[in-house]
């Protein structure tokens, strides 16, 4: 199969298959290092363990997919096949970014609005989007 193994051929989940869990009975807090560097007030970002698990699992699948692409290149797989797999990884990364952004908007921005520091949070989000978007 031109150097493709089964795991690198499996299609990555679509955005319609993504489920969001906002059950915060087992919350996880982390601080974003960029916040401290920018000198803005640092607040904890709280995400459910289930949400973190789903994101980490998606990233692990993407990591495996990238290893599959590396194998394809090492085995001289035709370039169009390699490019197709790279496009699949790009799409999967975009879906992970969408999940992270969606959770940030629904959880972190909403929390900042309730706490009265929405302006700082919006400024930080804009700065992150400036780095993320081409």
Report how far residue 63's alpha carbon sits from residue 66's, in angstroms, rounded to the nearest whole number. Answer: 5
CA 3 to chain centre: 28
pLDDT digits (tens, 9 = 90+) for 26-56: 444 444 444 433 444 445 666 788 889 999 9
pTM (two decimals): 0.63
**pLDDT digits over 72-112, tens only?**
999 999 999 999 999 999 999 999 999 999 988 888 888 88
């Amino acid at each position: 199969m031109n150097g493709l193994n089964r795991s690198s051929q499996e299609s990555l989940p679509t955005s319609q298959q993504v489920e969001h869990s906002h059950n915060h009975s087992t919350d996880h807090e982390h601080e974003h290092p960029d916040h401290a560097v920018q000198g803005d007030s640092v607040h904890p970002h709280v995400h459910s363990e289930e949400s973190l698990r789903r994101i980490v699992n998606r990233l692990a699948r993407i990591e495996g997919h990238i290893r599959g692409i590396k194998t394809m290149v090492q085995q001289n797989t035709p370039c169009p096949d390699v490019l197709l797999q790279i496009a699949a990884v790009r799409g999967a990364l975009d879906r992970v970014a969408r999940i992270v952004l969606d959770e940030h908007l629904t959880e972190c921005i909403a929390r900042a609005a309730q706490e009265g520091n929405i302006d700082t949070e919006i400024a930080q989000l804009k700065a992150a989007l400036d780095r993320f978007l081409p």
